[in-house]
Amino acid sequence: MRTLTVTGHGRATTVPDTALIRLSAVHRARSLAEALAGAESARAEVVNAAAGLVVSTVNLSVWPTSEQGQQPGFEARHTLTIATGELAVANELLSKLAYEIGSRIHVEGVELTVKDPTAAIGQARETAFADARAKAEHLAALADATLGPVEAVTEGGAGSGPPVQFAMAKADVGLQPGETALAAALTVTWSLA
């Protein structure tokens, strides 16, 4: 039995509806203990401001500092992620943190994602299958054959577009979700008639 195997690719766009904020509670001090205590104080303020949201520790680091003209000391950095669930909540939280904690936090980035990508991935799969069929029909015609029934389908290569980047120029960051692309790849094998 002759077969033809083709890989099709498809994309679908959707609007991100959730935000994952990555930030660090930072404190510099002359002693290690003071640096850790200050970072812990800032971390507690972040957790308090994010009341009800999921806050996770990513990393806790401390290193010595020595800048020209200043006495040596230590910088402690407690890096956290906050899952906001909604973009409006993320915007409000970033504004609140900027006003309440100020320079003791460093916003390292906000990743905008889709809470439930099922529908968009389904559309991407449909597009990938149509792409595979169109390629297969063309190749079969070139080989003086016609497509028979599908013998196998293998999925692979799903992913999302690049993360959204932003710069925090003022307290009200106004997160704009734009669109993100979800991709699918299907490898389909047909029998040839």
CATH code: domain of residue 79: 3.30.70.360
Residues 121 and 103 in one domain: no
Q: Please tell me whether residues 51 and 85 are part of one structural domain.
A: yes
| pLDDT band for position 193 (cuts 50, 70, 90) | confident
* Selected residue with higher pLDDT from 190 and 90: 190
Residues 86, 126, single domain; the answer is no
Q: Write down the pLDDT at residue 51.
A: 87
Report the distance separating Cα 179 and Cα 158, nearest Å.
17
CATH classification of the domain holding 187: 3.30.110.170
- Say if residue 38 is in the same domain as residue 96: yes
pLDDT at site 177: 66
The full DSSP string for 63-84 is EEE--TTS--EEEEEEEEEEE-
One domain for residues 102 and 145: no
Residues 133 and 75 in one domain: no
Least confident of 55-59, 77-81, 172-176, 177-181: 172-176
With bands split at pLDDT 50, 70 and 90, how would you rate the model's confidence at 89? Answer: confident
Residue 136 · residue 15 · CB < 8 Å: no
Encode pLDDT of 14-72 as tens digits. Answer: 888 888 899 999 999 999 999 999 999 999 999 999 888 888 899 899 999 887 667 78
Of 55, 88, 113, the one marking the end of a domain is 113
| 143-172 pLDDT per residue, tens | 999 999 999 999 974 343 333 333 333 334
pLDDT tens-digit map of 97-142? 888 888 899 999 888 888 889 999 999 999 999 999 999 999 999 9
Q: Tell me: do 102 and 174 sit in the same domain.
A: no
For residues 101 and 89, membership in a common domain is answered with yes
Per-residue confidence at 12, pLDDT binned at 50, 70, 90? very high
pTM to 2 decimal places: 0.60
Q: Among 58, 88, 113, which residue terminates a domain?
A: 113
In this structure, are 108 and 130 located in the same domain? no
Q: Which pLDDT score is estimated for 40?
A: 93
Alpha carbons within 13 angstroms on the beta-carbon side of residue 8 total: 24
Same domain as 121, residue 88:
no
Range of the domain at 188: 3-15+116-192
CB 76 within 8 A of CB 36: yes
Last residue of one domain, picked from the residues 94, 113, 132? 113
Residues 83, 156 within the same domain:
no
Asked whether residue 31 falls in the same domain as residue 103, the answer is: yes
Work out how many domains the chain is built from and give that number. Answer: 2
DSSP per-residue letters across the chain: --EEEEEEEEEEEE---EEEEEEEEEEEESSHHHHHHHHHHHHHHHHHHTTTSEEEEEEEEEEEE--TTS--EEEEEEEEEEE-SSHHHHHHHHHHHHHHTGGGEEEEEEEEE-S--HHHHHHHHHHHHHHHHHHHHHHHHHTT--EEEEEEEEEEEEEE-PPP-----SS--------EEEEEEEEEEEEE-
